[in-house]
Amino acid sequence: MSGDHIHPEPTSFLKKHVFSVDHKVIAKQFLWFGLIWLLVGGVMAMMIRWQLANPGSPVPVIGGLLFPRTGGVIDPASYNMLFTMHGTIMIFLGLTPVLIGAFGNWCIPLMIGARDMIFPLLNMLSFWTVALGGAVGFYSLFVPLGATEAGWTGYPTLSTTVGTQGDGETLWAVAVFLIGASSIMGGINYITTIIRLRAPGMKWSDMPLTVWGLFFTAVLNVLFLPVIGSAMLLLIMDRVFGTSFYVPASIMSGASGGDPILYQHLFWIFGHPEVYILILPAWGIVADLLSFFARKPAFGYKVTVGAMFAVTVLSAVVYGHHMFTTGMYAMLGESFMLLTMIISVPGEILFFNWLHTIWRGSLRLTTSMLFALGVIFVFGLGGLTGLYLATISTDIFLHDTYFVVGHFHLTMAASALFGAFGATYFFFPKMFGRMMSEKLGKLHFWLTIVPLTVVFCTMFISGYGGMPRRYYDHTSADYLVPLQHLNTITTHSAFLLGAAQLIFAWNFIRSRWWGPKASDNPWEVGTLDWQMPTPVPHYNFKEIPVVKTGPHEFSHPKLGDRDWIPQTEELPA
């Protein structure tokens, strides 16, 4: 275990950078892995938007290369594959590795004062399992009949052999299974590390909120990824061995049969917590960043933790709101509606605490602070529109429209992504020893938040107008033709949004190798990770630090000329 067996620093390239058990190296592996997949998923989104604005016209530049048989036009099957793989890649291979894999691995040991994760070998296995999952998913694009077309939710009977032929869907299920297994390994590591390896003096209430967010995420990962794992196993058996878990009786032999709704239950028992798996780390990071850059203690620290805990618990009991249109028993539907509404209570508490944290603070509007504020904004938009989807009567009208697409992109995609960006700009100096360009960062922020708001808010309007999800060519329906200009606005904004991410990519790569050298504590914060030299030495701490204060002691009147204090120092009496 870490701390007990100190091994010398590995010298061979393979052990140091590839099969490393060092949490810092694994964090960087996850970061690069996730960023590359975000790029792939982003390009897919651009192609989906192209088709929606210009149905049936060839995709410029890359069209001829990707769809040679149709002369660059996205054919219906490819369109289905694009939106399916876009969702799968963004959630499982983009956001999860960056937010949880990279920043979980980076922050937890450094912020709680540990030399490494508690199970370093399991940590390495977690990365290589997700890498294998990614490889399987990528490979599925090249099998005969291509990748799966069943949507990222993979509903039967569409996802069984009745609806989807070929190996694409099976490989998709295998990939999701592997990625889930990886998340479970990571989750167990995070939970055990946080429980067992906190530095002496670090009480639960001395942990940065980033660690709390990651802790709750890890709990949800450990509890609910197994559910999707089992659901995927049953789907694989239905496809490969001809079992009938999900295939209804009338289609198969007729003797007795499975239940496609069973899959929806299993999928959403996992799927709703998954939303919070992605957003809780972002919330934790945001709560810390707001305090760090407002130079004020995080308002209501314990209440924030309590609210995050409440969201964690509630996330497990609201999944039915994804299934209001399945003909659910009315009383059950109303229970799910009520429970879903209740989530807005801890949600509001978090918002209140965040706003109170920055209220009358000495704001330092760094790029990471801007992204933290951006999370408040986009999650606000997404959260408020969620109320319409939680209400059965409006949900039945809005179900499977672009209203839903706009809602979940603002909540689980944009908010999580903004959290990831904020964290990247913030932790970059400690991770890579160099500063990212603030000028490019701010440009990136403004060119992201403005088009992003337009993209998803326009989707609310077109969705309310009846624009359904996943239609290949909506202009073939007369009533949707008047909505075309909205789709064009969305697409143009989306292209601007996509182009703005190139600024980030350039900033990241340029700063990684050629950025100005970072000092040890450029943001002047007190958490343990920033008290260490940069680059962080092998095994982090020569001496395990003793924690004496909380993570957010800013602008304390007795501090004198400096407005922050390291967690290793005692507040002056």
Site for another protein, rule CB under 8 A: 1, 4, 118-119, 122, 184, 187-189, 191-192, 195-196, 222-227, 229-231, 233-234, 237, 241-245, 253, 255-259, 262, 265-266, 269
Alpha-carbon distance values, 121 to 26, 116, 291, 480 (Å): 11, 11, 34, 54
Minimal distance, residue 195 CB to another protein, in Å: 7
Instruction: Compute φ and ψ for 434, nearest 5 degrees.
Output: -135, 160
Residue closer to another protein by CB (options 254, 557) is 254
Beta carbon of residue 254, minimum distance to another protein (angstroms, whole number): 9
> Amino acid letter at 380?
G
- Cβ contact 495:502 at 8 Å: no
| CB within 8 Å of 90: residues ≥ 6 apart | 37, 38, 41, 45, 413
CB-based burial of residue 154 (10 Å sphere; 0-12 exposed, 13-18 middle, 19+ buried)?
buried
Tokens of 234: 């049953």
CB of 553 to another protein, least distance (A): 30
Nearer to another protein, 242 or 306 (CB): 242
DSSP state of 204: G
229 or 284: CB nearest another protein: 229
> CB of 21: closest distance to another protein in angstroms?
15
| Residue closer to another protein (CB basis): 243 or 475 | 243
Q: Which residues pair with 401 in a beta bridge?
A: 468
Contact 460, 408 (CB under 8 A): no
Residue 191: CB minimum distance to another protein, A: 6
Cβ of residue 256: shortest distance to another protein, in angstroms?
4
- Of residues 275, 268, 265, 176, the one with CA closest to residue 216: 275
Cα–Cα distance list, 27 to 107, 221, 391, 424, 494 (Å): 9, 18, 40, 12, 30
Considering beta carbons, is residue 137 or 180 the nearer one to another protein? 180
Rounded to the nearest 5 percent, the helix, strand and coil shares of the chain are 70, 0, 30
Q: How far is the CB of 262 from another protein (least distance, A)?
A: 5
| Closer CB to another protein, 150 or 218, in the complex | 218
- Give the whole-angstrom CA distance, residue 86 versus residue 427: 27
**Residue placing its CB nearer to another protein in the complex, 183 or 357:** 183
Which is nearer to another protein, 235 or 398 (by Cβ)? 235
d(CA 507, CA 108): 26
The residue among 143 and 195 lying less far from another protein, judged by its C-beta, is: 195
Residue with tokens 């001395």: 206
- Cis before residue 157, ω within 30 degrees of 0? yes
- Shortest gap between Cβ of 226 and another protein (angstroms)? 4
Q: How far is the CB of 117 from another protein (least distance, A)?
A: 11
